[in-house]
Amino acid sequence: MSAHAGATRPPPAPALPEPGTGSRTTPIAGLGFLCLVVVLSACTPAGDSRQHATPPADSAAPSTGASVGGPPCTPPVDTLSAPPAGYRLVGEDVAVPDAPVLAAEGSGEADPAARLFAKWGLVVRAGMVVDLRVAPGWQDKARLGWGGTRPPAPTVTVHACAPEGGQAQWMAFVGGTWVARAGCVPLIVTSNGKNDRVNLGIGVPCDKTATP
């Protein structure tokens, strides 16, 4: 799909990228990043105007109904034993792509803050509930969403319900970031009462010498 005006398509990220600019982030290796990208590319989150696809069935995937003592389970696209190569940890319970730029294309959304869309998979430790939000000053410039259960919003909650049997340690969710225009988007990740910040280059790389 061709990128719309205002978005750029970056070159492929290196196989072993350097750590990003978010706070308390660590480069990690795990299952093949290519395999996860193939799985995530087969699905499209709610709110995207492109064709929707049904995530592959996984016997270890949790139910998407209401969980006991917590928010509804967010439907995953895959279960993993560890975050994949090409991802970095944000805090202890979330992993995001380590690519310097995430490609953004026209979304077809009516919301001016969601004009462009960068698809990427969020990886969350099984059994955890995490909140993700755009940093102050970005509420009218960016939107988030994973799991295809809600429209993109400035703040989202992802509940990675642990699968039956407890074999998988991490859950992967289809979604991404919507933006009004390409830029370095700061996200705040909250898990276990701790806040961690990560900057993501949506359509353009982040300037590591300046805070967005």
**Over the stretch 57-93, which tens digit does the pLDDT of each residue have?**
333 333 344 445 578 999 999 999 999 999 999 999 9
Residue 159 predicted with pLDDT over 80: yes
How confident is the model at residue 149, as a pLDDT? 65
Assigned token pair, 41: 């590319």
Q: Where does the pLDDT of residue 2 fall: very low under 50, low under 70, confident under 90, or very high at 90 and above?
A: very low
Q: What are phi and psi of 36, to 5 degrees?
A: -65, -40
Beta strand 170-173 pairing with 78-80: antiparallel
Residue ranges per domain, the chain?
A: 25-57+67-202
How confident is the model at residue 165, as a pLDDT? 73
- Give the angle 200-48-195 at the CA atoms, nearest 5°: 35
DSSP 102: B
How confident is the model at residue 46, as a pLDDT? 40
- Per-residue pLDDT, averaged over 208-212, amounts to 45
Q: Give the three-class secondary structure for 36.
A: helix
Q: Are 169 and 70 in contact (CB under 8 A)?
A: no
**Residue 189 to residue 47: CA distance in whole angstroms:** 22
Q: Give the three-class secondary structure for 38.
A: helix
Average pLDDT of the chain is: 76
**Residue 25 to residue 82: CA distance in whole angstroms:** 16
Residue 47 predicted with pLDDT over 70: no
More confidently predicted of 166 and 27: 166
